Structure 1
Amino acid sequence: MNNLEFKLFKNQIRFKIALALIDKEEGLSILQLNQLLEDVPQATLYRHMNAMFEDGLVKIVNTKKTRSGEEKFYAINAETYKINEEEWNQASYDEKVNFVTFYFMYVLQAYQSYHKTMDGKKDETTFSLAKLHLDEDKFEDFQSELNALFNKYYEESEKDSNKERTVSLVIIP
């Protein structure tokens, strides 16, 4: 189960790097990462990025020539973090916890990115947590209706004039 080898969660620096790279399809260079992660020395970033690259957690998405050689731009290797239903069903508890952790890390990064663009505007983020008491049939109906709702708006979201919005949902049956 290669997709669930979450080595980045074993180290706080790797976690910070991954958090900085989420949603950065164009990638970031070590210098850019160093500016974002001021508390991490550049040599440490190089060491961890090399290890993360070797582990397949990040990939090189671009290179630029510089006076002293070549500057590499790294991005999250999203394929490493995708999981299909069969893999989920075969995953161990620890592997599932790692995957869920990445999911919440993505949500956190989406919120941080949104918050940076607010520029004094009111934060319109909403959160809700509800414990519903449903029998199995009602629970299946709920999930089916929710899926239909998501599909309806997902198709709408592909129009160019629409603003991207992140909607996150976790159901713990």
Structure 2
Amino acid sequence: MTLSSLLLHPVRLRVVQTFLGRGELTTAALGRHLADVPSATLYRHVNALLEAGVLEVVDERKVRGAVERTLVLRTARASLGPDEAAAMTAEEHRRAFAVFVAGLIGDLDRYLARGDQDLARDRVGYRQYAAHLTDEEMDDFVADLRAVIEPRLELAPGPGRRRRLVSHVLMPDAD
């Protein structure tokens, strides 16, 4: 199985995204975060990610006669590199983007299902901008985004901190 087909399955993508910003998770904690995924399905996909080296077991302990594993995401194995992305067909990119967008819709649905949503209070937003940039200006823009985002990815959970999802899409206009 290619890395792209492994990662671009909706359940496996959610498993990977659940680890982002969380560090280690036990299998029980992962199950709580993905409560809408049946346990057997979740464990099957976790095992596929373990076999591929995307997840790693960092601890095991007995809990009521069963072995509970503590897992960590191996971030370097959890994303496609430029060579893998370049090798994908147009149809594979369409499927990958559809899985990505469906994941965003699912995230919003789960947020809205809480019933207490307040987009202003929770700092929820989505919008699209259009900018006229040369390739060099676009490279600078991406570097600027990284400079803003990356230090914040290192912040540990703590009082007043809430896990927030930041997603972005960059593409040229079709014309």
Please indicate, yes or no, whether the TM-score normalized by the shorter chain is above 0.5: yes
**Aligned partners of 2:7 and 2:13 also within 8 Å:** no
Q: Identity of aligned pairs, percent?
A: 20
Q: Distance in 1 between matches of 2:150 and 2:31?
A: 38
Q: Which residue of 2 aligns with 1:35?
A: 32
Q: Distance in 2 between matches of 1:172 and 1:15?
A: 21
Offset of residue 143 of structure 1: 0.8
Q: Which residue of 1 aligns with 2:145?
A: 150
The 1:24–1:127 alpha-carbon spacing in structure 2 relative to 1, beyond 3 Å, is same
Q: Secondary structure of 1:88's partner?
A: helix
The 1:126–1:46 alpha-carbon spacing in structure 2 relative to 1, beyond 3 Å, is closer
**Aligned partners of 1:21 and 1:76 also within 8 Å:** yes
Offset of residue 26 of structure 1: 0.3
Offset of residue 50 of structure 1: 3.0
Gaps of 5+ in 2: none
Q: Distance in 2 between matches of 1:15 and 1:84?
A: 16
Q: Which residue of 1 aligns with 2:68?
A: 71
Q: Which residue of 1 aligns with 2:4?
A: 4
Q: Secondary structure of 1:5's partner?
A: helix
Q: Distance in 1 between matches of 2:164 and 2:36?
A: 31
Q: How does 1:3-152 map to 2 (within 5 A)?
A: 3-6=3-6, 9=9, 13-14=11-12, 16-29=14-27, 31-97=28-94, 99-100=96-97, 105=103, 122-132=121-131, 134=132, 138-140=133-135, 142-150=137-145, 152=147
TM-score, normalisation: structure 1:
0.59
Equivalent pairs, count: 163
Amino acid in structure 1 at the alignment position of 2:80:
I
**Aligned partners of 2:25 and 2:72 also within 8 Å:** yes
Q: Distance in 2 between matches of 1:109 and 1:170?
A: 16
Q: Distance in 1 between matches of 2:122 and 2:5?
A: 35
The 1:165–1:64 alpha-carbon spacing in structure 2 relative to 1, beyond 3 Å, is same
Cα deviation digits, residues 21-40 of structure 1 (max 9, x gap): 444320231x3344344444
Gaps of 5+ in 1: none
Structure of greater Rg: 1
Q: Distance in 2 between matches of 1:38 and 1:169?
A: 26
**Aligned partners of 1:8 and 1:52 also within 8 Å:** no
Q: Secondary structure of 1:59's partner?
A: strand
Amino acid in structure 1 at the alignment position of 2:170:
I
Q: Distance in 2 between matches of 1:35 and 1:159?
A: 24
Q: Distance in 2 between matches of 1:21 and 1:159?
A: 13
**Aligned partners of 1:22 and 1:109 also within 8 Å:** no
